[in-house]
Chains A and B, each alone.
Chain A
């Protein structure tokens, strides 16, 4: 059996993250995929990892793992790494993955290739393609020593569901002393923001300062509701206090790559483009025909948002609900 690629499949509240399953499918595409799931009462989730392509699933079950426990989770992944003899570790570039990946890399004495948008095997060697300078450039990197640790950008790698829903399952039987868990997540507090998580949404509707007031964002929210989309904002909007920072897209906000990104009254400053220009299809609505956003837009409408956006919402209602 070749060395598998071990994928940490993130779960919260007993629900696996789609981005984690995308990573499993990508690992299966590159070679043989194994998965590790960490949490409390999570054994049943092994089937989902199996369906996404994992041949084997390691489980680390502990009541203290109900919420994210940085040291404990890293230990679990590292033990699974040793048991599986994996040549690489993948996880989704989510807030948990970005925190966990370097801890695993440290335990394995390697480094992280973060937020990868492309992975390939070249002569038996894993090569990662990843953005730097906020996506203004990409690097192709290899690892000087194994195991390679990679975080994968959500929404970029295709999820497959034709794997075996009954993979081999092994309980890691991890023993963790309380003293090993120094960083304690006491609770999770919800913050304001849209219902659909930006970084994993397949459609995003973003609006910028051109809307002129916080009240005008209702048209953004109405359009998003019809499309089941997440909502975003430019930094100018966040700096004005109209919308929370959790909605900001761009260099100092979130990096997103949905199938469809609709930008309303956003000028398209370089720092905004940094966060969204890898979207598959971009629609721009702006009254200024020379706005830089039109340079990256797949489709553009030149016009007043107050006229175009409500009309667009109505049109979508018409065609999507019939």
Chain B
């Protein structure tokens, strides 16, 4: 049983990105991490393999810098081998999906795991675009998963509820927080990871679907003010909300 996990290298959620000289991307020099949702994906694949007592977990990363550090971390968690494709785009999900689908097609994975969203592009589209390219069923934003032979039964989070979804394998699953508690790589895992293989190559050219015109800082919030201290300030706050802000 082969299980694939797609993971993206993204700026740490604590980072404060600044706009680069091209006006379309951010300046380098910030801290990067494995996309947090992809850690749930990695953990779920590892657990399925452990439960089955056999199989291989393959991590795949498309990165414009060809940086292997996130794959190395995944190998430290227990992923068996990595495929690194130098190329892709931080924001064009269709480009990344095309590249990923090209690698995934011959791999023959039973389940292809993704995070539900990359915290840089915030686009929630790569898992579904890959599924469609490979003609596979999908379930996104999954918080619970069970593999029963050639069938996956999972729960996907929706507004105030969960959908119970059933689909045949091979299939695509994108992970939401709550699916599991990702493990930390052990010392032994980190040592072992140094010897695990990463197949690094250039990503094939893919067709851009979107054009980035420019990047902008978020609209500045008008300066706020402290209305007062303690409960004495409450009537004035309520008055401002009604008469000045007019939100009530």
Contact = CB atoms under 8 A, between A and B. Distances in A.
Contacts of A186: 164-166
B56 interface: no
A132 B140 contact: no
B163 interface: yes
Among A110, A144, A296, the one with the most B-chain Cβ atoms within 10 Å of its Cβ is: A144
B129 A105 contact: yes
Given A111-B210, A307-B231, A138 B140 contact: no
Interface stretch (A26-34, A36-44, A46-54, A93-101): A93-101
Contacts of A190: 160-161
Interface in B21-51: 26, 36-37
Among B19, B133, B139, B230, the one with the most A-chain Cβ atoms within 10 Å of its Cβ is: B230
B211 A251 contact: no
B218 interface: yes
Nearest to A148: B210
Interface string A38-74: 0000000000000000000000000000011011000
B224 interface: yes
Task: Categorize the interface residue count of chain B.
Answer: 35 or more
Interface string B208-248: 11111111111001101111111101110110111001011
Contact of A136 (B16, B91, B127, B237): B16
A105 B125 contact: yes
Contacts of A312: 231, 234, 237-238
A283 B215 CA distance: 29
A319 B238 CA distance: 9
**Majority secondary structure of chain A interface residues (helix, strand, loop or mixed):** mixed
A258 to B, nearest CB: 9
Interface of A: 67-68, 70-71, 94-96, 98-99, 101-103, 105-107, 110-115, 127, 129-145, 182-191, 193-194, 197, 199-200, 203, 227, 245-246, 251-252, 259-260, 270-271, 274, 277-278, 280-283, 289, 294-304, 307-308, 311-312, 315-316, 319-320
Interface of B: 11, 13-17, 19, 26, 36-37, 91-94, 119-129, 131-133, 137-141, 155-168, 171, 177-178, 207-218, 221-222, 224-231, 233-235, 237-238, 240-242, 245, 247-248
What are the 7 closest A-B residue pairs judged by CB atoms, nearest first? A106-B132, A111-B94, A102-B128, A102-B125, A111-B209, A311-B231, A303-B230
Given A140-B215, A191-B161, 15 more contacts: A139-B212, A140-B214, A141-B212, A182-B167, A183-B139, A245-B178, A252-B37, A294-B224, A299-B224, A300-B224, A300-B225, A301-B234, A302-B229, A302-B230, A316-B248
